[in-house]
Structure 1
Amino acid sequence: MGILQGKRGVIFGVANERSIAWAISQALHREGAELAFTYAGEVLERRVRPLAEGIG
């Protein structure tokens, strides 16, 4: 059980797999947080959605 088990968060600013926001979201997920991702526009959706689906 991670220290963030049962906690929820919203992630802003993921542009691709090299984003600081993406690295933070991976760390939060490893610790058990449930995450939601935001993005601005279709271009970023095509980048962010596969990443977000990959971690559940």
Structure 2
Amino acid sequence: MILLASGLNFGKLSISAGSNGTLIRLASNDRLLAVLNGVEFSAIGPQDFSSVEL
């Protein structure tokens, strides 16, 4: 499970394959948020994310 701060949701993310895993970026500005080493790009989906209030 990947937790997203309030205001973020799966639709605001860009998820792509990197050289060693999966890259998660903000779709609006391409800012890198996370690198999931060893995780296949195709294994990540909306069900893997949840929003939390900070």
* Structure holding more helix per residue: 1
* Structure holding more strand per residue: 2
TM-score by shorter chain over 0.5: no
TM-score by length of 2: 0.25
TM-score by length of 1: 0.24
